[in-house]
Amino acid sequence: MTPLNNKKTISIFGNLSEPPIAEPLQSAMTLNKGLMALYHASAELQFSKPLPALLKTILKGLKSGTDISKAAIFIKEDSSNNLIGLSSMGLIEKRVLETNVFLTIEEETELLRTGSSALNAKQYQKKLIGLFEGELDIKSAGIIPLEIRDRLIGILVYEKPSGPLHEEILVIFSRQAALTIENARLFTKVEEMALRDTLTGLYNRRYFQQILDYELNRAKRYRQPISLIFLDVDHFKQINDTYGHSTGDLFLKQIANKFSSLFRTTDMAARYAGDEFVAILPATNQEGSSLLAHRVLEALGEHLVLIRGNTLQISVSIGVVTYENQEGLGSVGLVAQADKAMYEAKKQGRNCVRRFEEIQTATA
């Protein structure tokens, strides 16, 4: 009887004691795996990369840390309050990128209020989950908000794995994704500010020179034309003297807005200095650049600037030049030729267009 009782005692003791030891150990191992995956993903982040590529890195870490194989990150677009698909893994990328979801203020508040407990879906989350299951072909979807300081940055949508899922790991990954999105946006904003003129918002002279060097080398390599338009505002000093420099600044802002709107997406408009503006026209010959220069002259001449109750007429002088396989001509020389053509327009009475090629022919 004693051996039987001993055997029974050992068996009961074993059944009772194993789960309390195994579960915390397994949970700790899973959490450690997730944290290590997050660490490695964070180490790969470089904010000079495009945001979708950064989020791919986060999703890769999510997969190795949680066994989630299908997920997508949607960011909130502040201007429209839409959730925009930006990056995914294990899903059809086209579907993710084409899925936009409008959020009302109430729905956004509900997502933020639930925080990490969005795993326990409430009314709106259930509707949202159903939408994503249909749009992204996910069998059993879960969502978790990406937030920073009670501000919704986006959401993480994922297909629940067959095994256990630890909420704390998802929360950590969602915070990392939110931080990544925020930091990448700030990096882009700072980088963009370094390329822009602070007054007009156009590209600055330094960036213009970089792009001109690139486009001119490209034109030489592929034997294509490239043109420059160089514009100077007529009698700008009189505007400053009459109305003050603050009014002059407003005047330049309005000219810059109108000037930049007149070009193709492949062209580049920039503020060169003071009241001088330039535009790079890739793959544009003499005829095309002349037509565009006259169109700019006409459009600006018809554009009245209203400032502090005063209606001001715009008058500009424009110089144009085209590179067409001229040997030995670099970007500095090309700008100088456009500048010379602009000064010739000044001499001819202002409010007109002059080509460098025509000046060169006349003086030859």
pLDDT tens-digit profile of 51-79? 787 888 888 878 877 878 899 999 998 88
What average pLDDT does this structure show over 210-236? 95
**238 — alpha (psi -120 to 50), left (phi > 0) or beta?**
alpha
What's the chain's length in residues?
364
pLDDT tens digit sequence for 122-157: 666 778 888 899 999 998 888 889 998 888 999 999
pLDDT tens digit sequence for 306-355: 877 778 889 999 999 999 988 889 999 999 999 999 999 999 999 999 99
The mean pLDDT of the chain is 83
pLDDT tens digit sequence for 10-38: 333 334 344 444 555 555 555 555 555 55
Q: What pTM was estimated for this model as a whole?
A: 0.57
Helix H or strand E encompassing 243? helix 236-243
Query: Is 67 an annotated catalytic residue?
Result: no
CA 252 vs CA 19, 52, 233, 274, 331: distances in Å: 75, 36, 9, 9, 26
Q: Which of 197, 232, 234, 275 is catalytic?
A: 275
Q: What pLDDT sits at residue 83?
A: 92
Residue 121 CB coordination number (10 Å) = 17
CA angle 80, 85, 89 (to 5 degrees): 165
Res. 45: pLDDT tops 70: no
pLDDT tens digit sequence for 183-203: 888 877 777 778 999 999 999
Q: What pLDDT sits at residue 123?
A: 67
The packing angle between helices 205-222 and 331-347, to 10°, is 110
Res. 212: pLDDT tops 50: yes
Cβ partners under 8 Å of residue 77, min gap 6:
83, 84
Q: What pLDDT sits at residue 119?
A: 46
The beta strand positions in 149-249, using DSSP E, are: 151-159, 226-233
Res. 118: pLDDT tops 80: no
CA 318 vs CA 289, 300, 346: distances in Å: 11, 11, 8
Domain annotation for the chain: domains and CATH numbers: 19-193 (3.30.450.40), 205-363 (3.30.70.270)
